[in-house]
Amino acid sequence: MTVTNENGSRMNTTTPPRAGRREWIGLAVLILACVLYAMDLTVLHLAVPSLSADLKPSSTQLLWIVDIYGFLVAGSLITMGTLGDRIGRRRLLLIGAAVFSITSVLAAFSTSAEMLIASRALMGVAGATLAPSTLSLIFNMFLDPRQRSVAIGIWISGFSAGGAIGPVLGGVLLEYFWWGSVFLLALPVMALLLALGPRVLPEFRNPEAGRLDLRSAAMSLAAVLAVIYGLKEIAQDGLGWLPALSILAGLATGFLFLRRQRRLADPLIDLRLFRIPTFNVSLATNVVAIFVAVGYFLFIAQYLQLVLGLSPLQAGLASLPSAVGFIVGSNVAPRFIHRFRPAFVLSATLILAAAGLLVLTQVGAAAGLAIVVTASVLISLALAPVFTLTTELIVGSAPPERAGAASGISETAAELGGAMGIAILGSIGTAVYRSGLASRLPAGIPAETAEIARDTLGAAVGVAQQLPDQLGLALLDIARDAFVQGLHLAAAISAAVAIGAAVLAVALLRRVPARSELEPQPELEPDGAVAELTKREMTTLPTP
């Protein structure tokens, strides 16, 4: 029996089926894949010195070794999310796991830089199957809205845990084994996924899906790769013709991609999703949160080592409270995010994150470890509910047969948000650093040395060690102070962006009810509050 509540939303007298032991075991298997996905984004950095000595790559080859995995992951997410809807999400996940295992072995035993670059590229394509497949499977496995929120919080925690423990495990392996051992971490995890996946994970695909349009897949890959490459080059070397042209080419390709989707009977992306207000606002808020999180952490990692002088291990330990705060926040969030309207939750947490970012503006060049740790924990606790809620709103607002595509869009947007955070905030911080250093360089420093020092704080620390003691210390003090000024400005801008996103959420999501308003007793239909609203929105949209 179906009834209508005071908000006009339909309700069902039957309670959505609750997940049992099989589903929670399946979630544990999915989380292992997420941990591995995040680990592979960070673990290679530790192996760079030893693999450089062994393979002797050129500087350009070394950059591609480090970056190609993330590039291919970002560029392939939309295609893999849509492909999972067509051939089956579990099937795609298992195929990706098998390919990831094989290419990890190839990377571990690479005998040349070219072989390692090719292996990492294939790992990126395989890795792109993990995030959208795992997220869309969670929406199939957990139909009860509250259990689903808990599962999404755990899913998000997996990425944070992988980013935190990756450098630690990698460091242990490199202490006793060769550089390729860091890639073999994937084998036991993927073996477990391949063994348990068919038993504990359900299969789901869209029975009415058409063929995958390969031209659209290639265009989406080219568009995302070009934009992210351009943003990364700006972050590394500043604004120039090559990165600007790359971004423009990517945007132009993206425009042509969208035009093509409007004409296709079975598009790679259903553009009707972008006519759903809940989908759009949640996606934009998620991108802003990623922008803030990645952008500010870029400065913190350098501050801990290059300003405070901590060793890599000490800096890693100082970053652990932030990772723990994110995990705690992701798992506590499901207890309260559905008691209040999304607009209130997102605005309150984003303002709290802005407060943490403003705390960062109080750090100094001489001391500030306690302030950094406190601010980072506050920011992590605040942003964790944002990621949990927006992820649920984004995928939950899509029809079930499009959940994989929506997951791919969500993950691609997150990658772009992170790249923009690094490029934009990194460029602003670099400009402030160079300006501050140029105006205060002590007399007696050779012009060539001064030019090197103006490049980055790391370069300044390196050349300061080659100068006489007093001159080197003076250069270090000025360089560190200039960097801290850049950190202050980037933190203040991030706080302003977070406050702007809070205002946007209040303005555009104020009419979206809290789940508790739609679940007095009996509960909602299995699709949940957002999906029910989405059904009404989707029925008003014309067919492409």
Q: What is the 3 state secondary structure string of 116-136?
A: HHHHHHHHHHHHCCHHHHHHH
Mean pLDDT, residues 354-365: 88
Helical H runs in 397-468?
Answer: 403-420, 426-438, 447-453, 457-464
Q: Find the Cα–Cα–Cα–Cα dihedral 325, 326, 332, 336, rounded to 10°.
A: 120
Residue 9, in any domain of the structure: no
My answer on whether 373 and 360 are in the same domain is: yes
Helix axes 59-87, 44-55, angle to 10 degrees: 130
Residue 420, in any domain of the structure: yes
Identify the residue whose tokens are 């490459």: 229
What per-residue confidence (pLDDT) applies to 329? Answer: 82
Which of 168, 184, 208 is the endpoint of a domain? Answer: 208
Of 296, 273, 98, nearest to 198 by C-alpha is 98
What per-residue confidence (pLDDT) applies to 207? Answer: 67
Task: Report the run of H or E that residue 11 belongs to, with start and end.
Answer: strand 10-12
My answer on whether 227 and 90 are in the same domain is: no
Residue 537, in any domain of the structure: no
pLDDT in tens, 184-214: 877 888 888 888 888 888 877 766 666 777 8
Q: How confident is the model at residue 495 (pLDDT cuts 50, 70, 90)?
A: very high
For residue 356, pLDDT over 50 is answered with yes
For residue 328, pLDDT over 80 is answered with yes
Residues 6+ apart with CB under 8 A from 329: 380, 381, 382, 383, 384, 385
My answer on whether 493 and 375 are in the same domain is: yes
Distance CA(347)–CA(341), nearest Å, equals 10
For residue 311, pLDDT over 90 is answered with no
What per-residue confidence (pLDDT) applies to 401? Answer: 65
Distance CA(108)–CA(116), nearest Å, equals 8
Distance CA(352)–CA(11), nearest Å, equals 34
My answer on whether 242 and 317 are in the same domain is: no
My answer on whether 217 and 77 are in the same domain is: no
Q: Are 104 and 186 in contact (CB under 8 A)?
A: yes
Distance CA(214)–CA(471), nearest Å, equals 60
Best mean pLDDT range from 256-265, 285-294, 485-494: 485-494
Domain region containing 236: 213-267
For residue 433, pLDDT over 90 is answered with no
Beta strand residue intervals within 71-164, DSSP E = none
My answer on whether 283 and 188 are in the same domain is: no
pLDDT in tens, 20-78: 778 888 888 888 888 877 777 667 766 776 777 788 887 667 767 877 887 787 778 77
Residue 5, in any domain of the structure: no
My answer on whether 202 and 259 are in the same domain is: no
Distance CA(349)–CA(490), nearest Å, equals 20
Best mean pLDDT range from 13-17, 165-169, 198-202, 483-487: 483-487
Residues 6+ apart with CB under 8 A from 346: 285, 386, 389, 390, 501, 502, 505, 509
Bridge partners of 136, per DSSP, are: none
Mean pLDDT estimate for the chain? 77
What per-residue confidence (pLDDT) applies to 378? Answer: 92
Best mean pLDDT range from 315-329, 399-413, 425-439, 490-504: 490-504
What per-residue confidence (pLDDT) applies to 237? Answer: 67
Residues 6+ apart with CB under 8 A from 64: 117
Of 149, 189, 193, nearest to 165 by C-alpha is 189
| Number of domains into which the chain is organized | 3
Of 282, 249, 213, 198, nearest to 26 by C-alpha is 198
Mean pLDDT, residues 258-278: 79
For residue 16, pLDDT over 80 is answered with no
Tell me how far CA of residue 145 lies from CA of 17, 152, 307, 420, in angstroms.
10, 11, 46, 33
CATH number at 280 reads 1.20.1250.20
The pair of three-digit structure tokens given for residue 421, joined into one six-digit string: 């955070």
What is the C-alpha R_g of the chain?
Answer: 24
pTM here is 0.73
My answer on whether 421 and 452 are in the same domain is: yes
My answer on whether 306 and 363 are in the same domain is: yes
What per-residue confidence (pLDDT) applies to 161? Answer: 79
For residue 447, pLDDT over 80 is answered with no
My answer on whether 353 and 492 are in the same domain is: yes
The pair of three-digit structure tokens given for residue 170, joined into one six-digit string: 């990698």
What per-residue confidence (pLDDT) applies to 9? Answer: 38
Residue 540, in any domain of the structure: no
For residue 532, pLDDT over 60 is answered with no
Which of 190, 208, 226 is the endpoint of a domain? Answer: 208
pLDDT in tens, 84-125: 777 888 888 889 888 988 998 998 898 888 899 899 889 888
Of residues 135 and 107, the one with the higher pLDDT is 107
Residue 170, in any domain of the structure: yes
Of residues 236 and 58, the one with the higher pLDDT is 58
For residue 480, pLDDT over 80 is answered with yes
Q: Please tell me the least confidently modeled range out of 372-381, 505-514, 521-530.
A: 521-530
Residue type at 513? P
Q: Angle at CA 462, nearest 5°, toward 62 and 455? A: 70
My answer on whether 204 and 217 are in the same domain is: no
My answer on whether 193 and 314 are in the same domain is: no
Which of 192, 208, 224 is the endpoint of a domain? Answer: 208
Distance CA(38)–CA(457), nearest Å, equals 27
Q: How confident is the model at residue 142 (pLDDT cuts 50, 70, 90)?
A: confident
Residue 481, in any domain of the structure: yes
Instruction: List, as one string, the DSSP characters of 328-360.
Output: HHHHHGGGTTTTS-HHHHHHHHHHHHHHHHHHH
Residue 1, in any domain of the structure: no
Q: Please tell me the least confidently modeled range out of 226-240, 321-335, 381-395, 497-511.
A: 226-240
Q: How confident is the model at residue 403 (pLDDT cuts 50, 70, 90)?
A: low
